[in-house]
Amino acid sequence: MLVNPLKKIQQKTETNPLSVLRQAIRGVTPDIAVKARRVGGSTHQVPIEIGFTQGKAVAIRWLLGASRKCPGRNMAFKLSSELVDAPPCQGGSC
């Protein structure tokens, strides 16, 4: 699933596609998340710090979700476009 988007990134940017992938994931990785905590009789959303592994998983989920929302063409084109646009925070995952 990742071979075709990486080839398209290579054609678009003429740089190493793995560095573009790493930079995209690093650019959208969150440091904190909200978790529901029950206090008294109500539930509050409390911010918590998340680890690197969990943050990376969330970032990949966001990149794939933003790619799926893009209209037209095939998934390889949409994912490659999202990965190229993610680091400067222009894509839908930011």
Give 9-54 pLDDT, tens digit per residue.
898 888 999 999 999 999 999 999 999 999 899 999 999 999 999 9
Domains and CATH numbers, the chain: 3-85 (1.10.455.10)
Between the alpha carbon of residue 56 and those of residues 1, 19, 44, 53, the distances in Å are 18, 15, 25, 5
Is there a contact between 12 and 80 (Cβ–Cβ < 8 Å)? Answer: yes
Cα distance between residue 51 and residue 39, in whole Å: 24
Give 59-77 pLDDT, tens digit per residue.
999 999 999 998 877 899 9
